A and B are shown apart, each in its own frame.
Chain A
Amino acid sequence: MKRLVSALLVGLGVILASAGCAGLYPADPHGTLSEVTGGVLRVGVSHNEPFVSVRGPVPSGREVELVEDYARTLDAEIAWTADGEEELVDQLEHGQLDLMIGGLTNRTPWEQKVGLTRPYTETTDEFGQQEKHVMAVRKGENAFLLDLDEFLQSQGGQS
């Protein structure tokens, strides 16, 4: 037990030391944030008005505008992929997308398969229920998620 404890203590020391050295904390296991910065942000869109509309030649809607604003902060180009939610979740899981929007709420059944942002706005649906809107990122890409969270919170209040 003593050996386990000292191993853990050493481990914690190493972790905190390297966290201090690395400028980026938390980090992404797959490096999403550093790849999209100045690069291409691959965004999956599923039709869900008024948040996302794929009727026109390019996607439009509130969330599309938010993502366009966010991409500007990263100096990133956006590559849109329009598809059904299930297909988009699959692509997100396999790292073929970085971000997915489509009027998702924090009660989405995809919660186990994707990482969700903090709710960035609330609406009331046709049944009178409060809906907290979120976006989905690839699971575990915490630096990217935190960056997006920061952006969304800074836009807070706009819906």
Chain B
Amino acid sequence: MAAHHNIENEPLPEEVAADLRRAVRLEWATIVCLVLIVGLVYAVMGNSQAMKTAWIEDMLSFVPPIAFLIGVHMTRRPATAERPYGYHRAIGIAHVVAATALLVMGGYLVVDSALKLITVDHPTIGGIQLFGTTLWLGWLMMAAMVVTAIPPVILGRMKLKLAPPLHNKVLYADADMNKADWMTSLAATVGVAGIGLGWWWADSAAAIVIATSILKDGITNLKAAVAGLIDARPTSVDNKDPHPLLGDIDAYLRGLDWVHTAGARVRDEGQVFHVEGFVVPRAAELPTPDRIQAAQRGLFDLDWKVRDVTITPVRRLPSVLEAHAGPSRH
């Protein structure tokens, strides 16, 4: 499978391909887990707004794994004459789709829960017939929340380890949400426990907390996804810092003995980077096709993520790069 995942008709390095296979397996495991969780929570959700919100969050949790699996599947297609850049942006599109789902649903749930609070809606939870005795359904809800809190956290932690080496932001967003899933469960548990105490407002308040965290996930991810699609400077998977590879690429180009100064414009294509290197040669006749091709090879060898490189000899660096590209010192 991974053999097709390339632009230069080269397979992914074996350890990256292995990570990718593990990530795909984990996402399938997540989907299976979610099916069970969604079924269980639906069975006991009753009239609790917090439970309903937690359930919808579980439903939404399907979106990132599915987006990841489709995205990864798409990127495996080789580049063709009609698709000369390959299909890497599929990951970015998957990211936007997942983030939009979170944003819209988070917003809806915040409003829905706030309305329940404003209209002084008293959540009603009655008994359920179980093994011949009547049990308060709230106990089952709390039990379900505790049970369903655990698997996503474990899966989330496993996926979180794979996201940086794969540089896959959909996987990262998904893992991050899974890892935080226990907070949703806790909030819902508090809400239901509150109903039991006669604090009718606790339920809606807990629902608002859950919905706000969904909304926040949506906003953060949508920002990151859109930034990727409009070719913002690549960042690390957590979107906090410029990607370290950028510095390495610039340093490599500036380190070439025939180069006076250099800078690269890099596009984040989802999992891989496309590099446009600009080099100012020491003399006009120095950038021969051989030297340029050698530089290209050098960049490919730098990291598997560098999947497409063009190098252009120029008299002056593009102004966006000039600002932070000092001349090389040797």
Contact = CB atoms under 8 A, between A and B. Distances in A.
Interface in B144-202: 183, 186-187, 189-190, 193-200
B186 A28 contact: no
Given A115-B124, A149-B127, A29 B186 contact: no
A116 B137 CA distance: 13
Report, nearest first, the 3 A-B pairs whose CB atoms are least far apart: A140-B122, A115-B124, A149-B127
A47 interface: no
A142 B187 contact: no
Contact of B123 (A118, A140, A149): A140
Given A4-B209, A12-B186, A115 B197 contact: no
B136 interface: yes
Interface residues of B, number: 27
Interface string B44-55: 000100000000
A26 interface: yes
Interface of A: 4-5, 8-9, 11-12, 15-16, 18-19, 22, 25-29, 114-118, 137-143, 145-146, 149-150, 153-154, 156
Contact of A12 (B124, B129, B189, B200): B189
Say whether chain B's binding surface is mostly helix, strand, loop, or mixed: mixed
B138 A142 contact: yes
B200 A29 contact: yes
Contacts of A117: 126
A8 B149 CA distance: 15
Given A8-B183, A8-B190, A12-B189, A139 B196 contact: no
B38 interface: no
Of the listed residues B189, B197, B209, the one surrounded by the most CB atoms of chain A closer than 10 A to its CB is B197
A25 B196 contact: yes
A27 B198 contact: yes
B195 A142 contact: yes
A142 B136 contact: yes
A116 B122 CA distance: 13
Given A15-B193, A19-B197, A150 B134 contact: yes
Interface in B124-146: 124-129, 134, 136, 138
A155 to B, nearest CB: 11
Contacts of B124: 114-116, 137, 139-142, 145
Given A5-B186, A12-B186, A26 B125 contact: yes
Contact of B193 (A19, A114, A139): A19
